[in-house]
């Protein structure tokens, strides 16, 4: 496989990146692929006796087939559930794309078929005054999966995100629709519009259900084409 890196971004925060990421990890496991996952920076962490930990990162840790210690899954854990660069500044810490890329590359020699990186928020979330998480994905030359939160306004957000990822020179492996608002007017018509206007493939539509496990989510998803060839 020429590129093991898969970066999960969203059209906004709370769009279901972790739901989709763990679903893709479960689908990859079902296909016989070995996986590892990292959330290089997470804002919104709690200390339950083992140091600051983030629930999304814990879910990634559990869903990957290669079990890493928490500190490798989430090397930068920030307490406040706010923009990462602001949370870091409040803690007297400095984030940089160089350092976050280094944490990710620490996984590069693992005997796995997929290295999944989950971002924070959307594509252009700042990590300092001049860099964003997009710089991390670009430096790693990741394929990108865009999680589209299906709610009013999603078409504009999805098209702008896809346009920006392409402009940054990265390949979009596909997009996933995650139903945020089950009462969204003309849901089916919005999905059809997204499928028509986004030239990359739709990897699945995740329904609005409670307590979906990664395995259940994985049943609604297809792996990106390059990873499908490995199954």
- The SS3 call for residue 37 is strand
Selecting among 4, 17, 29, 39, the annotated active-site residue is 39
- Helix, strand, or coil here: 172? strand
Beta bridge partner(s), residue 7: 117, 144
For 193, half-sphere exposure in the C-beta direction (CA atoms, 13 angstrom radius) is 15
Burial class (CB in 10 A: 0-12, 13-18, 19+), 229: exposed
Burial class for 145, CB neighbours closer than 10 Å (0-12, 13-18, 19+): buried
User: CA-to-CA distance for 63 and 56, rounded, in angstroms?
Assistant: 11
Q: Active-site residue 17, yes or no?
A: no
102 CB neighbour count, 10 Å cutoff = 13
For residues 87 and 43, is the Cβ–Cβ distance under 8 A?
yes
Taken in order 5, 140, 148, 70, the sign of the CA dihedral is positive
Residues 84/120, Cβ–Cβ less than 8 Å: yes
Q: Could you give the CA distance from residue 48 to residue 68 in angstroms, rounded to a whole number?
A: 19
- Rounded Cα distance between 29 and 127, Å, is 32
Strands 46-47 and 5-10, by their bridges, are unpaired
Enzyme catalytic residues = 39
């Amino acid at each position: 496989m020429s590129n093991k890196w898969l970066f999960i971004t969203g059209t906004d925060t709370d769009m279901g990146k972790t739901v989709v990421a763990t679903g893709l990890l479960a689908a990859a496991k079902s296909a016989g692929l070995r996986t590892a996952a990292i959330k290089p920076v997470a804002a919104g962490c709690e200390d339950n006796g083992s140091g600051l930990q983030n629930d999304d990162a814990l879910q990634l840790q559990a869903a990957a087939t290669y079990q890493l210690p928490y500190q490798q899954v989430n090397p930068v854990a920030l307490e406040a559930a706010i923009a990462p660069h602001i949370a870091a500044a409040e803690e007297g810490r400095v984030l940089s794309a160089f350092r976050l890329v280094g944490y990710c590359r620490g996984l590069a020699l693992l005997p796995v078929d997929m290295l999944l990186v989950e971002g924070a928020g959307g594509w252009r979330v700042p990590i300092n005054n001049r860099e964003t998480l997009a710089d991390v994905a670009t430096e790693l030359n990741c394929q990108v999966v865009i999680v589209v939160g299906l709610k009013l306004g999603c078409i504009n957000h999805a098209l702008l995100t896809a346009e920006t990822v392409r402009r940054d020179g990265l390949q979009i492996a596909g997009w996933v629709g995650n139903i945020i608002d089950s009462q969204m007017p003309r849901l089916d018509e919005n999905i059809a519009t997204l499928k028509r206007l986004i030239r990359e493939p739709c990897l699945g539509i995740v329904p609005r259900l409670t307590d979906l496990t990664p395995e259940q989510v994985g049943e609604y998803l297809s792996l990106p084409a390059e990873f499908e060839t490995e199954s």
